[in-house]
Amino acid sequence: MPETAKRTRRWVLLGGGAAAAAGFAIREYRLIPQDYAGGQLSVAEAHAQALAGDILLVDIRTPREWKSTGVGQAATPLDMRRDDFVQALTQLVGGDTATPVALICARGVRSARLSNHLTEAGFSNIIDVPEGMLGSAAGPGWVRAGLPVDRYTGDIG
């Protein structure tokens, strides 16, 4: 094999290995929730407190996810990708940023990140539900725990 072909092959292998390592690192980053110093609730506690009116439980997933699994009973769906998410949440709590708000996503990653963001934005009583709807290292999640869900009938646009 000519020397230039060997060098080209070596660079292709190194580049492929680097791309695989970068992909793995990005995947792990997306699956590992940030630390959140605020409160946390299990899915069962979040459900009970939402039913009792003690917290506002907000499902921050996407309409496609709501359509797939349903929305946890007593949860309010509010897509975290909305440009006006903070304003919409402020409106949901009637302007009272001290209202207890629990956030749930699929596996607790997005809810932890958003909990930190909302705390920085001035909300003083944000609670994370780290199990999520589908389960995580924190627990089985809403669906596998057998908690009730409401069918989502809105647009998935």
- Average pLDDT per 10 consecutive residues for the chain, totaling 157 residues: 66 58 47 70 98 98 96 97 97 97 96 93 96 95 97 80
Q: Write down the pLDDT at residue 157.
A: 54
Tokens 């009637």 sit on residue: 94
State the alpha helices, DSSP H only, in 32-156: 43-52, 63-69, 85-92, 109-120, 141-144
CB atoms within 10 A of CB 25: 10
In this structure, the answer to whether residues 74 and 143 fall within a common structural domain is yes
In this structure, the answer to whether residues 65 and 121 fall within a common structural domain is yes
pTM: 0.79
CATH code assigned at 47: 3.40.250.10
Q: Write down the pLDDT at residue 38.
A: 81
Reduced to 3 DSSP states, what percent helix, strand and coil does the chain have, rounded to the nearest 5? 45, 15, 40
In this structure, the answer to whether residues 26 and 47 fall within a common structural domain is no
Domain range spanning residue 75? Answer: 39-150
In this structure, the answer to whether residues 19 and 72 fall within a common structural domain is no
Is 18 a domain residue?
yes
Closest CA to 69 of 149, 155, 154, 153: 149
